[in-house]
């Protein structure tokens, strides 16, 4: 797929993801088979110990995996999450979080992607705090399911 | 563990989970080995197709699994998510969502729980839209990790 | 689907699963949405500590999940494992193991099943030692992919 | 940990894994944080379509993940599988399969590893057919749990 085509389509789709706006996430780099989503730490997304909630990290990693798969699908495609699995590797502490997803296999119906979530601290140091392995399904673009 | 003790502790912990407040979730039933968390549908938690985002369902299911495990842990325990896996079974459409978690195994260090997430429509009909299997770890209660 | 039709089809398919014969597994109960596979304990399927290897339990649970999904698919269907996740809940010790799978959702393309694996000891007592959540895909029956 | 120490310990442990012998697996490269296990294709490990059974691939990937984690644990450690998740990426066809595991995080109690399983065809070409993400637990070495 033409990269000139896919990036605006993903940015337009991202802007419709209201949860990601609610969390304070923004779309980063979009490349062939790779998508990054950033999330600024804030008290609004914490769990009971003050770390960022696993659900917030899962949300950005899941969306990054979906879009990474979408970059390898035909133009008339929408993407749905079939399932994902995420390991929490370290307490989610930091100034900002980056979910970096990449496609592992792009199939006709089923695609698989992985995502690392890195925490960036105030000094700019990066640490991997979560790891996702996700299964995505291509659906034909329709009035209900777009991109 | 004495139920009279654990329910207030979980409610107090829940109130510190700012992400769950941001999403609009509230704690439902707390029983021995079982915890429910409710989430009202709203545009603020949608993904690009207008369904509720998988990350929001994962957040309530993850917290419900953690608290379900906590009901079977000693009094001085905090709980951390090691990992979880969630299947999306149907589009997350409805008026309200309920994550119902129950402990499958309560170990000394590692516990396992599952959660169903049901969507309730305007007529009150219920449909299972997501299924989680989660691994939790007991940590000793400390100033940083409580309940 | 007519149960009179599906059970012989699954038994015939099971007999082609050479790994399951190599492990010493046999097909148990086949019902609408539910399939059981049994495995006798033996030194040949152990891991380094003398317990039954997680891979052997995963093999019977995966096949049981696949067949449980197949009972809800159209007649001309074959089934492939998309992915599975399994938690080991207790050391796999016992005389015999039973993987009991049941369909959670039967979709047009994607189905989801769960399986408990129980260990039966010499006194006949049963204990759940593993829990699987699996995603299966329907493919059209063909000379390469049957049942 | 001294590599001179760990490789013989893993080879001795591998030889006690009777399932892996039953399947025809052998231990490949052992390095700091990385372990490979090889499996020759044979009819004895097939599923109903003639591909290698997902359970056999899961068995070698699980053991490779466990040993990869063990290379980063203290000397008096045994390793147990807490859980694993595996995606099947392509039909498991080939002459030989290699599970290549590497540690992602080595914790005091919990470690996480991933493994790719590659199929090697008759021409020597390699293709990734499965991907695992696994959680392992350190236990103290004892008469029952060694390495």
Q: What is the pLDDT of residues A51-102, one digit of tens each?
A: 999 999 999 999 999 999 999 999 889 999 999 999 999 999 999 999 999 9
C-alpha span between B81 and B63 (Å, rounded): 9
Q: Is the CB of residue D92 less than 8 Å from the CB of residue D58? A: no
Number of domains in chain D: 1
For residue range C71-82, list pLDDT tens digits in order: 999 988 999 999
Residue A145 lies in a domain: no
Give domain status of residue C145, yes or no: no
pLDDT confidence of residue C136:
98
Q: What is the mean pLDDT of residues B109-121?
A: 98
CB count within 10 Å of CB B2 equals 7
CB-based burial of residue D143 (10 Å sphere; 0-12 exposed, 13-18 middle, 19+ buried)?
exposed
Closest CB from D83, D110, D112 relative to B137: D110
Residue of B nearest to C86 (CA): B133
The verdict on a CB contact (< 8 Å) between B131 and C133 is yes
What's residue B2's pLDDT? 52
Answer whether D80's CB lies under 8 Å from D137's CB: yes
The CATH number of residue C81's host domain is: 3.10.129.10
Residue D22 lies in a domain: yes
Partners of C112 on chain B (C-beta within 8 Å) are 87, 89, 131
Q: Which of B64, B65, B66, B57 is nearest to B23 (CA)?
A: B57
Decide if A43 touches B, using CB distance below 8 A: yes
- Name the average pLDDT for chain D: 94
% of chain A beyond a pLDDT of 70: 96
For residue A2, what are the contacts with CB-CB under 8 A and spacing of at least 6? none
Cα separation, B20 vs B28, in Å, equals 13
| Cβ-defined contact of B112 to C85 (cutoff 8 Å) | no
**Using 50, 70 and 90 to split pLDDT, how confident is the model at B142?**
confident
Which helix (H) or strand (E) segment holds residue A43: the answer is none
Given A48, A60, A145, which is nearest B13 (Cβ)? A48
Label residues C38-56 b or e (16+ Cβ within 10 Å = b).
bbebeebbbbbbebbbbbb
Q: Under 8 Å CB-to-CB from A64, ≥6 apart: which residues?
A: A35, A36, A37, A99, A100, A101, A113, A115
pLDDT of C28 reads 98
What is chain B's mean pLDDT, rounded? 94
Closest residue of chain D to A88, computed from CA coordinates: D112
pTM to 2 decimal places: 0.96
pLDDT digits (tens, 9 = 90+) for D39-91: 999 999 999 888 999 999 999 999 999 999 999 999 889 999 999 999 999 99
C46 contact B CB<8A: no
Contacts (Cβ under 8 Å, ≥6 apart) of D122: D95
Domain range holding B18?
A: 3-140
In a domain, D145, yes or no: no
The ipTM is 0.94
Could you tell me if C126 and C118 are in contact, meaning their C-beta atoms sit under 8 angstroms apart?
yes
Local confidence band at C4 (pLDDT 50, 70, 90 cut-offs): low
Helix (H) or strand (E) holding D145: none
CB-based contact (8 Å) between D80 and chain C? yes
Does residue A76 lie within any of the structural domains?
yes
- Mean pLDDT, residues B76-99: 96
- Does any domain span residue A146? no
Task: Decide if A41 is inside a domain.
Answer: yes
Residue B57, CA distances (Å) to A119, A137, B63, B82, D13 in order: 23, 18, 10, 18, 42
Counting residues of chain B whose pLDDT is more than 90, the rounded percentage is: 88
Q: How far is CA C136 from CA A50, C14, C55, D53, D86, in A?
A: 38, 17, 18, 14, 12
How many other C-beta atoms lie within 10 A of the C-beta of residue D78? 20
Q: Tell me, what's the pLDDT at C2?
A: 52
Beta strands in B89-124 (DSSP E): 96-106, 110-120
Partners of B83 on chain D (C-beta within 8 Å) are 83, 112, 135
Contacts with A43 (C-beta within 8 Å, 6 or more apart), sequence order: B18
Contact C38, C30 (CB under 8 A): no
């Amino acid at each position: 797929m033409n990269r000139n085509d896919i990036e605006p389509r993903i940015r337009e789709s991202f802007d419709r993801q209201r949860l990601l706006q609610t969390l304070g996430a923004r779309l980063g780099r979009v490349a062939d088979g790779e998508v990054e989503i950033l999330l600024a730490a804030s008290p609004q997304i914490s769990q009971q110990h003050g770390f960022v909630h696993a659900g917030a990290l899962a949300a950005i990693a899941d969306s990054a995996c979906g879009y990474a798969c979408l970059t390898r699908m035909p133009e008339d495609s929408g993407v749905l999450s079939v399932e994902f699995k995420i390991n929490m590797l370290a307490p989610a502490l930091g100034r900002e979080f980056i979910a970096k997803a990449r496609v592992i296999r792009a199939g006709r119906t089923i695609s698989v992607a992985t995502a690392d979530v890195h925490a960036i601290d105030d000094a700019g140091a990066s640490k991997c705090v979560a790891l996702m392995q996700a299964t995505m399904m291509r659906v034909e673009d329709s009035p209900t399911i777009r991109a």
